[in-house]
């Protein structure tokens, strides 16, 4: 049996094409429903890390901007009706420009993902514009700098998070409409002679489900939390699941998308996976709670000398890591997390989302003959993203 969302006949005989299409649909659905303002995938491609380049934005950002334009217009209209006094009237209790900058910066700093992604916000310049303050914010991190423009009312009570280029936004919307129309035409093409009613996941007698992550991505940690939960409830599943890491080796040094701290944590987890496998999930399960490396190494009785040797000897840790990075290239992995089942990309969202039950179902669909543990029902609660002392959390999805 295939999962509920893939039970209906698929119109293509090429299983790879079927898998790609169902995965893209699931990703698009999650992008529309997601409330996480982070880099997402659109039609199988990674969004641009430069959020200031409107022409390269993914569909998720376009949807947020559309909502923002409408909400922004309504707020500005309400504001002008409530505050009809001319903007230069001395009777208004306005903030100074520097005070307004401080308010904007405080609001930006409330985002809990900034620390996880090692991003530092700052104000680069401000001015008065159309009776409001225009404040330019810069986000600096390992992936480079991104700037965006915000507006705040002079009393500091209403913040408009981001301005957009109207012409570029119109062009983006037209591109989105064209892509969706093209996909709709493809979906409605009748080819009943090529219907497939079996599984769309490639099967094997010894399947392997691999999750590609980076250790400081909130959603990579979320996938590790799910796998840890599955292994806690079904220890035998550990033989068929593995975590691999994204990055590169440059001049005999490991690199990662969120900087050196993440790169070293990736290397640490890789070394544990390869040389102290019995400690890997114990350590990861501890680390994902608060990110306390030293305490977790101690509490899980990791051999510190062996670990340090692995991380510093270029013939060990970096060699292990390079295997992961080569597989990144082989499968075209660009986002954390990405699931690969039996050498093919799969989506947990075709089976229910970021839950232990859904990922277990993905794994079980990869077996030619399902083991008995596939009948075990696991939690269908969404796993918490980022560091968290508990398994469950607010429903969230996305990728780094």
The pLDDT tens digits for 105-138 are: 888 888 777 777 778 889 988 888 777 888 888 8
Cα–Cα separations (whole angstroms), residue 16 to 21, 198, 227, 276 = 9, 13, 25, 35
The pLDDT tens digits for 222-256 are: 999 999 999 999 999 999 999 999 999 999 999 99
CB 203 within 8 A of CB 365: yes
103 vs 15: CA distance, rounded Å: 53
Beta-bridge partners for 243: 211
Q: What is the pTM of this model?
A: 0.55
Q: Contacts from 221-224 at CB under 8 Å and sequence distance 24+? A: 221/288, 221/385, 221/386, 221/387, 222/337, 222/354, 222/383, 222/384, 222/385, 222/386, 222/396, 223/336, 223/337, 223/339, 223/354, 223/359, 223/383, 224/284, 224/288
Beta-bridge partners for 204: 367
Beta-bridge partners for 150: 135
Helix (H) / strand (E) element for 149: namely strand 144-153
Res 376 pLDDT > 80: yes
The pLDDT tens digits for 145-167 are: 778 788 888 888 888 766 666 77
User: What are the domain boundaries of the chain?
Assistant: 209-375
Alpha helices in 83-147 (DSSP H): 97-109, 113-116
Res 283 pLDDT > 80: yes
Fold entry, domain 209-375: Glutaredoxin (3.40.30)
């Amino acid at each position: 049996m295939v999962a509920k969302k893939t039970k209906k006949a698929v119109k293509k005989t090429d299983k790879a094409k079927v898998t790609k299409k169902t995965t893209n649909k699931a990703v698009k659905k999650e992008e529309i429903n997601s409330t996480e303002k982070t880099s997402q995938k659109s039609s199988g491609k990674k969004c641009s890390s430069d959020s200031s380049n409107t022409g390269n934005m993914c569909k998720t950002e376009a949807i947020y901007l559309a909502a923002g334009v409408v909400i922004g217009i309504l707020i500005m209209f309400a504001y002008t009706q409530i505050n009809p006094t001319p903007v230069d009237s001395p009777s208004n209790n306005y903030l100074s420009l520097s005070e307004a900058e401080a308010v904007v910066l405080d609001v930006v700093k409330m985002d809990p993902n900034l620390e996880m992604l090692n991003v530092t916000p700052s104000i680069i310049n401000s001015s008065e514009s159309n009776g409001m303050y225009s404040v330019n914010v810069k986000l600096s991190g390992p992936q480079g700098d991104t700037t965006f423009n915000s507006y705040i009312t002079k009393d500091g009570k209403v913040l408009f998070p981001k301005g957009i280029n109207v012409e570029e936004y119109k062009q983006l919307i037209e591109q989105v409409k064209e892509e969706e129309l093209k996909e709709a035409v493809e979906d409605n093409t009748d080819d009943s002679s090529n219907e497939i009613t079996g599984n769309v996941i490639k099967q094997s007698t010894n399947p392997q489900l691999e999750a590609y992550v980076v250790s400081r991505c909130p959603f990579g940690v979320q996938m590790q939390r799910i796998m840890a939960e599955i292994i806690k409830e079904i220890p035998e599943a550990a033989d068929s699941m593995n975590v691999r890491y994204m990055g590169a080796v440059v001049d005999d040094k490991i690199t990662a998308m969120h900087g050196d701290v993440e790169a070293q944590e990736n290397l640490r987890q890789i070394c544990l996976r390869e040389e102290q496998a019995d400690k890997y999930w114990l350590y990861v399960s501890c680390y994902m709670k608060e990110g306390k490396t030293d305490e977790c190494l101690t509490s899980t009785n990791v051999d510190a000398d062996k670990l340090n040797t692995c991380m510093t000897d270029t013939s060990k840790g970096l060699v292990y890591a390079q295997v992961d990075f080569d597989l990144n290239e082989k499968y075209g992995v660009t986002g954390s997390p990405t699931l690969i089942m039996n050498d093919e990309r799969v989506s947990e969202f075709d089976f229910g989302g970021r839950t232990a039950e859904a990922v277990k179902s993905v794994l079980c669909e990869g077996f030619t003959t399902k083991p008995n543990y596939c009948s075990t029902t696991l939690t269908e609660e969404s796993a918490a993203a980022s560091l968290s002392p508990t398994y469950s959390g607010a429903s969230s999805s996305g990728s780094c």
